[in-house]
């Protein structure tokens, strides 16, 4: 199953907001954010990560993690792809329940 850019974007925004990561909602291209706020092991206070809200993807240049919201949930929880989708409340490409990833 493949998520659309819109779905990936919505989930990434939700994760950013729940983790308190500062970003500019109206900017759809790449923008810098702190990796620490996304829960990675790096823990830096300077913006070493970039996010692309329009594509729903991220890349940390400090710890070299990259992907979309599903990848972020997989990295933080140790779940496989299907497990991350279930945790995010996705079934057959549709959100079926409230996400429980945090």
- Written as tens digits, the pLDDT of the chain (102 aa) is 677 888 888 888 888 888 888 888 888 789 988 876 555 555 566 788 899 998 999 998 888 889 998 898 898 889 998 888 888 887 655 665 555 555
Range of the domain at 25: 5-68
57 falls within a domain: yes
100 falls within a domain: no
93 falls within a domain: no
- C-beta neighbour count of 25 within 10 angstroms: 9
| Angle, alpha carbons 36-53-100 (nearest 5°) | 65
99 falls within a domain: no
Contacts by residues 76-82 (CB-CB < 8 Å, ≥ 24 positions apart):
76/39, 76/101, 77/101
78 falls within a domain: no
95 falls within a domain: no
Whether the CB-CB separation of 49 and 35 falls below 8 Å is answered with yes
Tell me the pTM.
Answer: 0.76
39 falls within a domain: yes
What is the domain count for the chain? 1
């Amino acid at each position: 199953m493949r998520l659309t850019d819109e779905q990936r974007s919505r989930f990434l925004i939700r994760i950013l907001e729940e983790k308190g990561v500062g970003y500019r909602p109206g900017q759809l291209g790449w923008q810098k954010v702190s990796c620490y706020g996304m829960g990675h092991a790096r823990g830096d206070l300077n913006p070493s990560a970039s996010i692309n809200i329009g594509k729903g993807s991220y890349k940390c240049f400090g710890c070299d993690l990259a992907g979309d919201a599903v990848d972020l949930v997989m990295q933080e929880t140790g779940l496989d792809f299907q497990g991350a989708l279930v945790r995010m409340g996705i079934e057959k490409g549709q959100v079926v329940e409230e996400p429980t990833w945090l």
